[in-house]
Amino acid sequence: MQTVKDVMTTGVVYLPSETPIAEVARTMREQDIGDVVVADGPSLAGMVTDRDLVVRAVAEGRDPEATTVGEVMTRELVTVRPEDTIQQAALLMRDRAVRRLLVCDDDQGLVGVVSIGDLAERIDPESVLGGISSADPNN
C-alpha cells in the first residue's frame, strides 16, 4: 500500500505572515508551486494557495503590495502523517473539502505537502485529473 510519504512534496516553502501577497505570488511563480506555508517563527500560522490569492484578494480588489498573506491565508490546517495511506489522505480531503494536506511527523514537525493532484497521479494516473497533474506546467 502506498503511503503519503511516497507521494508528498518535501520542498515546502515558508513565508512570514507579514509578506505582501504580490511577493507570495512571485514566489509561487518562481518556485512553480501553488501553495505556501505561512509561519511566524517556529509556529505554523496557516497556508495560502494560488486560489486563495485570487478569491480572497484579487476578486476583492485588494492592493497586492499592501495586503499581507496573513490577511488572506487559511488558518485551519488539515494534516496527515507520512505513514498514512494515500487512500486515507484522499478520504480526508473529501471529508474536509480541501485540495492540500500538510504532512506532519511527530519528531520533525512539518515534512511535506500532499495535493489532490499528487494523489490522482498515484491512485488513477489514467484519469483526467491524473493526466493534468502529471503534465508539464504552462509557463
Q: Over the stretch 120-139, which tens digit does the pLDDT of each residue have?
A: 877 665 544 444 444 455 55
Predicted confidence (pLDDT) per residue in 35-57, tens digit: 999 998 888 999 999 999 999 99
What integer pLDDT is reported at residue 126 of this predicted model? Answer: 57
> Is 120 buried (19+), middle (13-18) or exposed (0-12) by CB count in 10 A?
buried
What integer pLDDT is reported at residue 131 of this predicted model? Answer: 41
Percentage of residues in the chain having pLDDT higher than 70: 88
Q: Which residues contact 132 (CB under 8 A, 6 or more apart)?
A: 117
Predicted confidence (pLDDT) per residue in 101-125, tens digit: 999 998 888 999 999 988 887 766 5
* Rounded average pLDDT over 19-46: 94
The pLDDT confidence band at residue 1, using thresholds 50, 70 and 90, is confident
Q: Residues 86-94: contacts with CB within 8 Å, 24+ apart?
A: 86/2, 86/3, 86/4, 86/6, 86/7, 86/114, 86/119, 86/122, 86/123, 87/1, 87/123, 88/4, 89/4, 89/114, 89/119, 90/116, 90/119, 90/123, 93/119
Asked if 123 and 138 count as a contact pair (C-beta separation under 8 A), the reply is: no
Instruction: Give the chain's domains with CATH numbers.
Output: 4-134 (3.10.580.10)
Angle between helices 116-123 and 86-96 (to 10 degrees): 130
